[in-house]
């Protein structure tokens, strides 16, 4: 694995305000999954757990991104004088 990443490192980066964007955070999370699939054999317990965790992450991440987009759209509409 050329670029290792783990949840402890991500947590430390969060606690120390090292992420400058949500995209940077997402990139590190997705690196964990890529490394999992690279290092472990397809069908192995760890590989399958990685898939399961990625599926959960995607559901939560996509929901949060939709909420974030809606807040931005609502803010834009309110600042331009268009109230819903």
Within the chain, where are the H helices? 7-15, 22-39, 45-79
pLDDT for the residue numbered 82? 53
Any idea which residue has 């974030």 for tokens?
Answer: 68
Give the pLDDT of residue 69: 85
70-78, long-range: CB within 8 Å, 24+ apart, which pairs?
none
Total residues found in the chain within this entry = 84
Task: Tell me: pLDDT of 77 over 80.
Answer: no
Model pLDDT for residues 22-70, shown as the tens digit of each residue: 999 999 999 999 999 999 999 999 999 999 999 999 999 999 999 988 8
Q: How far apart are CA 15 and CA 22, in angstroms?
A: 14
pLDDT of residue 74: 77
**Extents of the domains making up the chain:** 7-79
CB 10 within 8 A of CB 25: yes
CATH fold of 7-79 reads Histone Acetyltransferase; Chain A (1.20.920)
User: pTM score, two decimals?
Assistant: 0.81
């Amino acid at each position: 694995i050329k670029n290792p990443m783990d949840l402890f490192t991500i947590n430390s980066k969060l606690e120390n305000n090292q992420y400058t964007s949500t995209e940077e955070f997402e990139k590190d999370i997705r690196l964990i999954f890529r490394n999992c699939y690279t290092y472990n054999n397809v069908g192995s317990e760890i590989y399958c757990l990685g898939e399961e965790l990625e599926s959960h992450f995607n559901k939560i991440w996509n929901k949060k991104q939709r909420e974030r987009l809606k807040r931005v759209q609502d803010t834009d509409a309110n600042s331009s004088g268009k109230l819903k």
